[in-house]
Structure 1
Amino acid sequence: MSKIEKLLPNFNELTPSECERITFEALDVYKKALQNLEDAPATVSDFLEPWDEASEQFDRVVNPVFTLMSAIGGEEFDALEQTLDEPMTRLATWMNTNEKLYEKFVALSKLDLDPETAYLVETELKEFRLGGIDLDEQGRKDLEEVDLEIASIATQYGQKVAKMLGEKVEVGGKEYQLNNFTNQLALSDIDDPRQREELLDISMNRGFGGDLDTRDLVLKMAKARHKRAQILGFENHAQIVLETETAPSVEAVYELLSDVSKAALKSLEKEAQVLKKRAARDGLEDFKASDWLYYQEREKKDALGLSSDVLKPYLELWNVLENGVFFAANKIYGITAKRRSGLRGWDDSMRVYELEDEAGKSLGIFLIDPFTRPGKSGGAWMNSLIQGYSKTDYESIIINCANFEPVAEGEEKFLVWDEVETLFHEFGHALHGFLSKTKYGSTAGTNVPRDFVELPSQLNEMWAYHPQVIENYARHFDTGEVMPTELREQLQQSKTFGQAHSTVEFCAAALLDQKWYSNAEIDQVDDVAEYERKALEEAGVSSALVPPRYRSTYFPHVFTIGYDAGYYSYMWAEALVAECENWFRNTAAQNGDGGLNREAGRQITDAILSRGSSRDPQESFKALIGHDASAGAILSRRGL
């Protein structure tokens, strides 16, 4: 039985007012704990371990609060988020410019430390330097001022985007709940080209006018982050971001995105010709961006026999999770998931599970919140309410959130294939947390560079396609029959179908992100739409048929706090993923099982998943693979 479940919050008690109270109390306790360490001896036991424990105790209070802000939202939680902007930012500034704490880490760096401790100290010293420790008094004041501005802008932007997603739109007499990205999934099913065009137009113009106009916030954020970079002595914000990532430079990021997008654009033209001919047979001569997904779906059905309607009866939500995602985790990592119906999340649609390793030891509690609702942030994500490490006996409390369209009470939820991949993807992040075995909370789980954190999640998607896994979860809901062999083979073939389109739309968004945060003359920009147009043309990814996956006005990865100047991370990590997939299928495979075995799980856990940030992530990758990854692996994986 889990020891940590007693720390699972009673979410019914976490009202906005209670969240405010406990957060301010935690801020006070945390700061006092750090102040008490200012005069402690600069040793691991007297300073570093208490510092790490104080940080972990603070996180276990505030993580549930910030989770509810994203998962529930609404006016009261939105107001709370705005209230907390200033004290949270001032605490971070105080910590990053605290001379006494900094001197402790400097002193520690001169000691003979074990590798994990040495890497943690090195990482924290870098954080101090990026946080303004080398600035004079005026510089620190300027930095705090701009950091407060950035926090406020991020909150306003994020809340406006969440409200965009909470509003349904009507097209052709039918209501649609918009996806957070540009190309709406519903475009695949709308027969009327005028309605498709109208829906895409609504999607692409979100944030350009009205009460939820975010253009001014986009400009303010880009300029504020540029100002911050200059205060710290950098040319641009992207350079700061890459100081803590595995990508070596802004130029290396541009090179990767450019190389991949060029290859994708060549394939895109071929795909476009096929779809245009098909549209012409329907009498549609003016083929537009809004028509792409509709005709791609039909081409896919003809070429492979696949369609969402054919697949859906085999893809019931909870069956995919329990007999697919959890089944694969058991085969590879020895994990067993047990439903804990007596434990509750913050919404009745949620489910709670306890995970155990193969010896029966609890790894902690897993909560899943799958459905969209007004106020909830868009997309899908993982978060650790409590991240396991040595002091928690390696038990964690981890959540996965998604935004699947809800169904009426008592009805079954059937997924489209993208949503199946989302379940596997987000649980890959959860595995990164549950399998972590580090000494310090600060080095545990997903506390790794952003362009490395997507490795475990993207890698876990491969098991959605594995024959043995599919056979276990892809069963017809009414009859229990396994998905026909022909359909399973077609799914395998579909992995690279339409990749040119998805690659171009991703690269366009990632390059747009880089353009906002690497432009030395960003202060002169005053028109978001025009800047986007020029940026995409200069980057060589402008296409009338493929809009960016996100436009700047609804791109929370980049204009809140998280993936700013870092959206490229998904593709950077994909090069690592491609190498690891090859490792599973070849080096780790036993008797043709494609790597679906415990020995493979033990090796990748030891090399990568258990390590967190206890050492350089590239060292962890090379410990498994033996060499660096290359962009060519991405092209091969995507069939480009």
Structure 2
Amino acid sequence: MTAPSIDLAAHPLTHWTGELGLPDFAAIDQADFEPVFDAAMAAHRSEIEAIATNEEAPSVDNTLKAMELAGEPLSRVLAIFSALAGADTNPHIQALERAISPALSRHFSSIAMNEALFARVDALWEKRDELGLDGETGQVLEKTWKGFVRAGAKLQGDDRSLFAEIGARLAELGTAFGQNVLKDEAEWELVLDEADVAGLPSDLLESMAAAAQSRGHEGRYVVTLSRSLYEPFMQACGKAEFRETAYKAFTNRGSLSEETDNAPIIAETLRLRDERAKLLGYETFAAFKLDNTMAKTPVRVMELLEPVWERAKAVAEDDRQALGELASAEGQNAEIDGADWRYWQERLRTERFAFDEAELKPYLALERVIEACFDVARRLFGLQMVERSDLKGWHPDVRAFEVHDADGAIRGLFLADYFNRPSKRSGAWMSRLQSAHKLDGGEKPIIYNVMNFAKPKEGQPALLSMDEARTLFHEFGHALHGLLSEVTWPSISGTSVSRDFVELPSQLYEHWLTVPEIMQSHLRHVRTGEPIPAELMEKLEAAQGFGQGFATVEFTASALMDMKYHDGAPADDPLAFEAQTMDALGKPDAIAMRHRSPHFQHIFAGDGYSAGYYSYMWSEVLDADAFEAFTETGDPFNPEIARKLRENIYAAGGSDDPEKLYTAFRGQMPKPEAMMRKRGLLTENSREV
């Protein structure tokens, strides 16, 4: 098929003319996506063919550098499309996503299986010790060569075409999986009246009223399947029947109707992943995915997860008994089930620590938390964030900030899209429109965060929970990983690191939310402006470890399920396999997995975290130890530690092996005890793991 006649050098999808290099979103016609994708892929194929057929001997410049710089129009249209598909989708975008995902998979597979191109890369790899490469370029060559091999470059005959077809089909399945979850989340609602919501906190009522208004239920109250509404509702609602209704819907997202049932997609995905791994010579898909991570093998992952799992179950059982005693004392059924846990846990937290999450929320206004988040970046790294209300994103809710270094120079651009809406997939994430790099003149980063906080009524402040405030800090930690990158090569910029290292900068950044001077400076009452009282801070600190049995079981169950799916025979009936696995592991019935299989988008809406969900905990071992580097000095903003952190972690990208980078920062690799202490799972009487 002849590519459409599109001027890629002038089209707003591929030629970004906005200030600071931002795309002109207002000039984008969504009908142009398909022809621009076709033209951009054709242009990229031409560039690749020119590199592959170059008659000159392979060199870093004519092969490695040329490949890194090829395909810029495709990268640009894909960056815009991905932002819209995740944060502001519509039926047209979703239909195109279903078509373009397999087309892109086939496009990149064809490049990976271009024999002449791989021969040039392979020639460089074979004589790498003779090329006098600097460390960063050596990393890029190794990553590029391994990327070809892992993408099937060494396969022959029918195996090559089969590998490409599997990749295309997996792309289709991942898109369908995510769209099914989005449909369930967008359409389900629990509509309540005034009498039904008596006693709920005022900020939750305001969010529920705003959700009702946006869904056409003026004057009523709505619970959606957004965590920002679901979790506070489950903590505060004293009416068990409403909790039960919400709980069943939330835990069954991705299977609420025959139309959105993700079970067949999971089964086919697992089968194809296993087949693809075996084509490459790996025993399982988990062995394939872990081969280029810090963990290296499924055995090392399980050595982390299993001891934590057993300790978390023991702590959760103690908590379950305490919750049952409280419920019984108040005349309720002492048998705690999944719909009960969050409610009675919040009640017990209030009783034990005189701490009520609702008491804290007025100090967690979104604007105050943003201020705190940006101030930490200033104190640690000298960054200044300057809001630009004149710069527009893909939706009116998107906010833009210039990022300045300590000397005033513009480092890049940060976009933030904070509020939930039906057109946005659930969760929170960081991504980029443009990476920071220095190759061939370089580019400044354009990084964005997407959240799903409940949007308040107009004129009212958005109040966050503590978990939501941590999420904001977490995602901004990812953003800093992109903004502070100082590498030359685009392919190792920012978050382009192994999956079990990528969460370190984000999870580490969460620690500064609860540093006392940050809390007192910024977390001020939304109405009075008074700083958070010392007494409330003490209550918060005392209550920090409470509920960690629940939280750790919830997370670790999902991480274990991910490994069980990908380190064994594919599951023909994934939901039955999930139930059998959780039963064999002894998962408490009253604690649901944080992500049940039908809505486990981390591992099934694409393969980004497949056989890799454990990496949050792996990184947590690192982040707990890394923050102790500061606390050991008595200064959470110690300038010398901050300098080493920036240089070896946030700025380094994938320029070296992650173990070397972490050791350069800290002196040695950590053990799990720091993470267990942080979670409150270790006491003086408990055995360390």
TM category, shorter: over 0.9
- Find 1:165's aligned residue among 185, 189, 200: 185
Q: Which range is displaced more, 454-463 or 214-223?
A: 214-223
Going from structure 1 to structure 2, the CA distance change for 1:182 and 1:248 (only over 3 Å counts) comes to: farther
- 2:374 matched to 1:326? yes
Mean CA deviation greater in 377-386 or 204-213: 204-213
1:68 aligns with 2:67: no
Any residues of structure 2 matched to 1:498-509 within 5 Å, and which?
498-509=547-558
Q: Secondary structure at the residue paired with 2:70?
A: helix
Is 1:105 paired with 2:121?
Answer: yes
Do the aligned residues in 1 keep the contact of 2:230 with 2:246 (CA within 8 Å)?
Answer: no
1:171 touches 1:199 (CA, 8 Å); kept in 2?
no
Q: Which residue of 1 aligns with 2:394?
A: 346
Q: Which residue of 2 aligns with 1:82?
A: 98
1:377 corresponding residue in structure 2: 425
The residue number in structure 1 matching 2:575 is: 529
* Residue 133 to residue 619, structure 1, CA distance change in 2 (3 Å): same
SS for the counterpart of 1:210 is coil
Q: Given the alignment of the two structures, is residue 462 of structure 1 paired with residue 511 of structure 2, yes or no?
A: yes
Determine which of 251, 263, 282 is the counterpart of 2:330: 282
Could you tell me how far apart the structure 2 residues matched to 1:454 and 1:180 are?
21
How far off its partner does 1:56 sit? 5.2
Q: Which moved more, 1:413-422 or 1:630-639?
A: 630-639
Shift in CA distance, 333/123, structure 1 to aligned 2, threshold 3 Å: same
Deviations 1:69-120 (A, max 9, x none): 1111121110111121232011111121122221222222212211111111
8 Å contact kept, 1:334–1:598: no
Render the CA deviation track for 1:131-169: whole Å, top value 9, x for unaligned: 111111210011111111111111111111111221242
**Range 526-535 or range 435-444, more displaced:** 526-535
> 1:298: which partner in 2?
347
Q: Does 1:36 align with 2:50?
A: yes
What residue identity is the alignment partner of 1:64? I
Q: Is the 8 A contact 1:5 1:364 kept in 2?
A: no
Equivalence for 1:435: 484
Match for residue 178 of structure 1? 225
Match of 2:312 in 1: 264
State how far apart, in whole Å, the 2-side matches of 1:76 and 1:171 are: 29
2:413 is matched by which residue type in structure 1?
Answer: I
Partner of 2:250: 203
In structure 1, what is the equivalent of residue 196 of structure 2? none
Q: Any conservation in 2 of the 1:16–1:80 contact (CA below 8 Å)?
A: no
Q: Which runs of 5+ in 2 are unaligned?
A: 1-15, 194-220, 682-689
Q: Secondary structure at the match of 1:310?
A: helix
C-alpha separation in 1, matches of 2:404 and 2:239: 50
Task: Note closer, same or farther for the CA distance 1:5–1:613 as it changes in structure 2 (3 Å cut).
Answer: farther
Using CA pairs under 8 Å that are at least 6 residues apart, name the structure with larger relative contact order, 1 or 2.
1
- Indicate if the aligned counterparts of 2:17 and 2:24 stay in contact, CA closer than 8 A: no
Equivalent pair of 1:206/1:553 in contact (CA under 8 Å):
yes
Residue among 679, 684, 687 paired with 1:638:
679
1:410 alignment partner, SS class? coil
User: For residue 234 of structure 2, what is the aligned residue in structure 1?
Assistant: 187
1:19 corresponds in structure 2 to: 33
Q: Deviations over 1:393-419 (max 9, x none)?
A: 562100000111112222211111111
Q: Secondary structure at the match of 1:37?
A: helix
Q: Secondary structure at the match of 1:400?
A: strand
Task: Tell me the CA shift for residue 179 of structure 1.
Answer: 2.9
Q: Within the alignment, does 1:553 sit opposite 2:567 as a pair? A: no
What amino acid is the match of 2:323? L
Asked if the contact 1:165/1:179 (under 8 Å) is kept, the reply is yes
- The Cα offsets for residues 250-280 of structure 1, whole Å up to 9 and x where unpaired, read as 1111221111111111111111111111111
Q: Give the AA of the match of 1:602.
A: R
Other-structure match for 1:390: 438
Distance in structure 2 (CA, Å) of the matches to 1:453 and 1:430: 11
CA contact (8 A) 1:421 1:464 kept: yes
Per mean C-alpha deviation after superposition, the further-off stretch among 471-480 and 397-406 is 471-480
User: Given that residues 177 and 265 in structure 2 are in contact (C-alpha distance below 8 angstroms), is that contact kept between their aligned partners in structure 1?
Assistant: yes
Q: Which residue of 1 aligns with 2:618?
A: 572
Q: TM-score, normalised by structure 2?
A: 0.88
4+ runs of 1 displaced by more than 6 Å? none
8 A Cα contact 2:224 2:230, kept in partner = no
Q: Verify the 8 A CA contact 2:228 2:454 in the aligned structure 1.
A: no
Give 1:4 shift. 8.4
SS of 1:628's equivalent?
A: coil
Distance 2:71 2:653 in 1: 17
What does the per-residue CA deviation read over 1:419-460, in whole Å, with 9 as the maximum and x for residues that have no partner?
100110000000000110001011110000111100000000
Match of 2:10 in 1: none
Q: Write the deviation string for residues 470-514 of structure 1: whole angstroms up to 9, x where unpaired.
A: 112200121111010111222223332211100001011111111
Report how far residue 281 of structure 1 moved.
Answer: 1.2
Letter matched to residue 424 of structure 1? F
With over 3 angstroms needed to count, the CA separation of the structure-2 counterparts of 1:429 and 1:398, relative to structure 1, is same
Q: Which moved more, 1:241-250 or 1:334-343?
A: 241-250
Cα distance, 1:354 vs structure 2: 0.3
| Alignment partner of 2:663 out of 622, 625, 630 | 622
Q: CA–CA distance in 1 between the matches of 2:631 and 2:35?
A: 51
**How far apart, in 1, do the equivalents of 2:478 and 2:453 lie?**
18
Q: Distance between the aligned counterparts of 2:443 and 2:649, measured in 1? A: 16
1:188-236 Cα distance to aligned partner (Å, 9 max, x none): 0110122222221222223333321111111111111112112222222
Separation of aligned partners in 1, 2:427 and 2:367? 19
Q: Is the 8 A contact 2:190 2:224 kept in 1?
A: no
- Whole-angstrom CA distance in 1 between matches of 2:18 and 2:90: 29
Q: Which residue of 1 aligns with 2:561?
A: 512
Q: Is the 8 A contact 1:454 1:570 kept in 2?
A: yes
Distance 2:462 2:48 in 1: 48
Q: What secondary structure sits across from 1:433 in the alignment? A: helix
Inter-partner Cα distance in structure 2 for 1:449 and 1:30 = 26
8 A contact 1:179–1:185 mirrored in 2:
no
Which secondary structure does the structure 1 equivalent of 2:171 belong to? helix
Is the Cα–Cα contact under 8 Å of residues 394 and 437 in structure 1 kept in the other structure?
no
| Shift of residue 597, structure 1, vs aligned partner | 3.9
> Could you say what secondary structure the match of 2:189 adopts?
strand
CA contact (8 A) 1:368 1:399 kept: yes
| CA drift at 1:282 | 1.4
Counterpart residue type for residue 187 of structure 1:
M
C-alpha spacing 1:183/1:234, structure 2 compared with 1 (3 Å): farther
Q: CA deviation at 1:606?
A: 0.9
Counterpart AA for 1:251: V
1:46 aligns with 2:65: no
Match of 1:605 among 618, 642, 646: 646
453, 456, 467: which one aligns with 1:418: 467
- Kept in 2: contact 1:178–1:184 (CA 8 A): no
Counterpart of 1:448, as a letter, is: V
Residue number in structure 1 paired with 2:525: 476
Q: CA deviation at 1:243?
A: 1.6
